[in-house]
Structure 1
Amino acid sequence: MIEPRRTKELPASLLTDPEMIDACRRRDFTRVFRLVKTRAGIYPSMIARQCYLTPSRVGEVIAAKRQLLNMDVIERIADGLRIPGHMVGLARRPWETPAAPAEAERGTRDSVTRPVEFKAFTGLPGVEVDSVLALAAGGDPSPSTLQSLRTSIEDYWRRDDEHGGETLRPAVIGQLRYVEGLLKDRRPTPIQHGLYGIAAELARLTGWTYFDARQFHQARAYFSEALQLAREIDDHLFMANVLACMSLQATYQDKPGDALALVSAAQDSACAARDTTSRVRAMLAMREAFAHATLGDRRGTHTAIFEAHNQFGNVRPDDPDPAWVTYFDEPKLIVDTGIAHGRLGEAAIAEPLIAEALERENPSNQRGRAFHAFWLARTQLQRGEIDQACQTATEALAWASAVTSERVARHLRELYEQLAPHREASAAVAFEARLREALPVSGQRTPSSIRT
């Protein structure tokens, strides 16, 4: 394989778009090149340079005057544009798995300082980390180094809420591999323990960015890596957090049985931790409610909601909550309660809860506001409030357009499909126009063919 000249990666929203998936599966490079041009801003001359093709040949393909059938050429296109091999019928490409740090020399050390056995995770796209700001070189990490890394993680999460995680991902993965490299050497137990915890959180954050992009296979691989890292230091509480993330992802993959099993494992792991707080228990109970609601289990959902509120009532300001659960505040409890009822079709209960929480939402959390507005619009639609639903959905579009989140975009397209019986209503027509403007779908399609 010729190593291609590197360019920016294709956005996750393009690689997960049904039209791009279909074009790649059919090896229809006329459509592929057109989509790459319009959606990723990679023009024909750049495509030619990246894929070792002549500009005239690329132009002929885009004009549908030439087909590309040679396997060597197809491999060059996949490698040059960083299209995962499976999308074009090829084996996994070498660049799809990030390089794992070399395993440290084994010696006599306690279980906390034992280096983790890093396994290759198949199906992960390559990452461009050259642009990541150089981290401090040399020297042994100190407590202040650990605090600096933790502060950067908090900043990553804040920026993820405000703008989405796609552009953050290369930096996060670069930092993850850097920290894992530090784990090769023997260090004092508190430092080594801290490094494992930081690496676990970076792996979870990476998994979350892939989940938000609806790239579920990659997300699960990084979540599994986070579990592996947390297990090395017996951090049962953080393992519960990761399992809860995996449970939420299973609901998106229409695997409610897996969602329930994963959140049950999360609750078991939390029980094994001696420092589990009421806020953590409340969050896990709400994830259980989501799983039951996805299964259509009304009784199980209501029981889990009751437990979540009961546990949250025991939260105290001086509780030693881990940083990763502080997002689960009262507005989040209220909106998740509304969403769980909404999943069951209990719109009359859900609507006022979601509306209240949306009013209290942090203005900087663009994705959260878009996501919760979608659920409010959905419950309003369930109640036959067509004009109000379209107005709320239009507000959601404004927030969604400010953040890169295929998960939110997919929800809003689904809402448009649910408006099908009311497609002629003026409010629905206006929403469709705003949807096309804010979340454009490539290709010429009739309104009813917008894909979900």
Structure 2
Amino acid sequence: MARSQAHRALPADLLASAAWQEACRARDFARIFQLVKVKAGIYPSRIAALCGMTPSRVGEIMAGRRGLAHIDVIERVADGLRIPGAMLGLAHRPWEIPAPARTEERPPEPLPVVPDQPQPVEPPEELDDLLALVDGRATRSTLTALRSSVEDYWRRDNAHGGATLRPAVVGHLRYVGRLLDAAEGDLRHDLQAVAAELARLSGWAYFDARQYSTARTYFTQALKLSHAHGDSLFMANVLSCMSLLATYDGKPHDAITLACRAQDAARAAGEQPLVMSMLHLREAFAHAVMRDAYACHQAVDCARDQFECSRGREAEAPSWVRYFDETKLLVDTGIAYARLGKAARAEPLIAEALRRENSDQRRGRAFHAYWLASAQLQQGKLEQACTSAGLALDLATAIDSPRVSGHVQELHRRMLPYAREAPVLVFEQRMRDSRS
């Protein structure tokens, strides 16, 4: 009998129940079918359709007059009822493991430059572009609106992830590039600063989308723009982003070099303890990846010392680093320890930071929940790790951040040695539900 389309999934509380797990361990299909009927509301005729059996055979199995011994039939039942393979002593079924998030590298968007000679004007696509071309120049009110847009992008990135911001940010970057053609004096100088931040934001959005080579292209553009603008402090900001990108891209030596160069650029701009605190932690991340405990702890200690020096002076710090508060210091320190393999030291720091964070910081909270789960898993705290992983999963499904989604997938792969444990089975069910 051909099976009809499979049902969605068995309830998570059924999969976690002791009666269900015992029935599966014993391959007691009479009990399994009875529990499916009572707890999931799937009646024998539907069981038969899902599993490719006749209703009479299902009835005989439920009455205890027949059993199931052939592995192909058992696999058919697992697939039809969506019973995780590990519960029946099988390998993971093909439908169990969600396909990893895939992102394809795309050629970078054409980057705006500050031209030496007049350039051909592109056809305007938006009303603002048309008006700017008619006016032929930007005004102070234009600059104020652009700065407001940048701040809005910061908020939206943290709340919803950066991947969906790419078209808007890149579009704004092109727009500012055109405005620069006609701008002069102080206004031109200020527009260059906005262009540098938009290029950095473009790089960050592609980084969050895990398109690293494109991200690097935009970060390089931001570095050139901030250099032309003469802003060594903002160059430190861009270099810190490039350091984090190198850490993710498996190039920790480059990450250390970039973080240290960022610190040099910040020192050249004068005393900026809050910036230096953030930069020392970027350095700590890279040392942790290399498992250099001494250098990692040194960098963490420098970050703490600089943060103490910054207390009461937050207003002196540039706006782009004011997100780096005590909660961020705690969680980044915890992440450095987790990367280093010091899970017992990492867990309380990350847990406390998660407790303090605002609920609207979804991307950050998802990222930090992943690291909490990772630290707990390192210590063998499977139930707590699955609970934290569930929080990361819930938050990840509400945002557009392939970087965070990739972390959740990685965490699931690390749980495979515990595939038969109830907390992992429940977490896997939640993963499948999130994709349905």
Common topology (TM > 0.5): yes
Distance in 1, Cα, partners of 2:289 & 2:380: 22
Distance in 2, Cα, partners of 1:423 & 1:291: 31
Distance in 2, Cα, partners of 1:142 & 1:133: 13
- Residue 165 (structure 1) aligned to one of 137, 162, 166: 162
- Higher mean C-alpha displacement, 131-140 vs 345-354: 131-140
- Residue 285 (structure 1) aligned to one of 258, 280, 287: 280
- Residue 103 (structure 1) aligned to one of 95, 99, 115: 115
Aligned length: 327
User: Residues 379-403 of structure 1: CA distance to partner in whole angstroms, max 9, x if unpaired?
Assistant: 1111111011001101111111010
Q: 1:104 to 1:399 in 2, by over 3 A?
A: same
**Residue 227 of structure 2: aligned partner:** 231
User: Residues 404-424 of structure 1: CA distance to partner in whole angstroms, max 9, x if unpaired?
Assistant: 111111111111111111110
TM-score by length of structure 2 reads 0.71
User: Residues 222-278 of structure 1: CA distance to partner in whole angstroms, max 9, x if unpaired?
Assistant: 00000000000211000011000000011111111110011111111111113x421
Distance in 1, Cα, partners of 2:382 & 2:354: 19
**Residue 430 of structure 1: aligned partner:** 426
**Residue 151 of structure 2: aligned partner:** 154
Larger Rg: 2
What is the one-letter code of the residue matched to 1:351?
E
Q: How far is the alpha carbon of 1:304 from its aligned partner? A: 0.5
Distance in 1, Cα, partners of 2:371 & 2:214: 26
Q: 1:433 to 1:292 in 2, by over 3 A?
A: same
User: Residues 152-173 of structure 1: CA distance to partner in whole angstroms, max 9, x if unpaired?
Assistant: 1010111111112222211111
- Residue 310 (structure 1) aligned to one of 300, 305, 308: 305
**Residue 341 of structure 1: aligned partner:** 337
Distance in 2, Cα, partners of 1:431 & 1:384: 16
**Residue 203 of structure 1: aligned partner:** 199
Distance in 1, Cα, partners of 2:219 & 2:316: 24
Query: Conserved in 1, the CA contact under 8 Å of 2:138 and 2:183?
Result: no
Query: Conserved in 1, the CA contact under 8 Å of 2:373 and 2:385?
Result: yes
Distance in 2, Cα, partners of 1:391 & 1:197: 43
Work out whether 1:397 is the aligned partner of 2:393. Answer: yes
Q: How far is the alpha carbon of 1:97 from its aligned partner? A: 4.4
Q: 1:384 to 1:258 in 2, by over 3 A?
A: same
Distance in 2, Cα, partners of 1:345 & 1:149: 43
Structure 1's unaligned 5+ residue stretches are 1-82, 107-114, 116-128, 441-452
Query: Conserved in 1, the CA contact under 8 Å of 2:112 and 2:173?
Result: no
User: For residues 132-151 of structure 1, what are the structure 2 equivalents within 5 Å?
Assistant: 136-137=131-132, 138=135, 140-151=137-148
Distance in 1, Cα, partners of 2:198 & 2:234: 12
Q: How far is the alpha carbon of 1:186 from its aligned partner? A: 4.6
TM-score by length of structure 1 reads 0.69
Report the secondary structure of 2:400's partner residue: coil
Query: Conserved in 1, the CA contact under 8 Å of 2:203 and 2:219?
Result: yes
User: Residues 331-381 of structure 1: CA distance to partner in whole angstroms, max 9, x if unpaired?
Assistant: 000000000001111111000000000011121111101000000001111
Q: How far is the alpha carbon of 1:135 from its aligned partner? A: 7.4
Q: How far is the alpha carbon of 1:102 from its aligned partner? A: 7.8
User: Residues 177-209 of structure 1: CA distance to partner in whole angstroms, max 9, x if unpaired?
Assistant: 111112222512x21111010000000000001
Query: Conserved in 1, the CA contact under 8 Å of 2:163 and 2:402?
Result: no
C-alpha root-mean-square deviation of aligned residues, in Å?
A: 2.3
Distance in 1, Cα, partners of 2:129 & 2:114: 20
User: For residues 317-328 of structure 1, what are the structure 2 equivalents within 5 Å?
Assistant: 317-318=312-313, 319-328=315-324
Structure 2's unaligned 5+ residue stretches are 1-102
Distance in 2, Cα, partners of 1:334 & 1:99: 37
What is the one-letter code of the residue matched to 2:171?
G
Q: How far is the alpha carbon of 1:98 from its aligned partner? A: 2.1
Moved over 3 A (4+): 99-102, 129-136, 316-319
Report the secondary structure of 2:344's partner residue: helix
**Residue 182 of structure 1: aligned partner:** 179
Residue identity (%)? 50
Distance in 1, Cα, partners of 2:325 & 2:140: 29
Q: How far is the alpha carbon of 1:435 from its aligned partner? A: 1.6
Query: Conserved in 1, the CA contact under 8 Å of 2:209 and 2:402?
Result: yes
Distance in 1, Cα, partners of 2:131 & 2:407: 41
- Residue 253 (structure 1) aligned to one of 246, 249, 252: 249
Q: How far is the alpha carbon of 1:104 from its aligned partner? A: 4.2
Work out whether 1:387 is the aligned partner of 2:383. Answer: yes
Q: 1:280 to 1:139 in 2, by over 3 A?
A: same
Higher helix share: 2
Distance in 2, Cα, partners of 1:338 & 1:97: 36
Distance in 2, Cα, partners of 1:153 & 1:186: 19
Report the secondary structure of 1:140's partner residue: coil
Q: How far is the alpha carbon of 1:307 from its aligned partner? A: 0.5
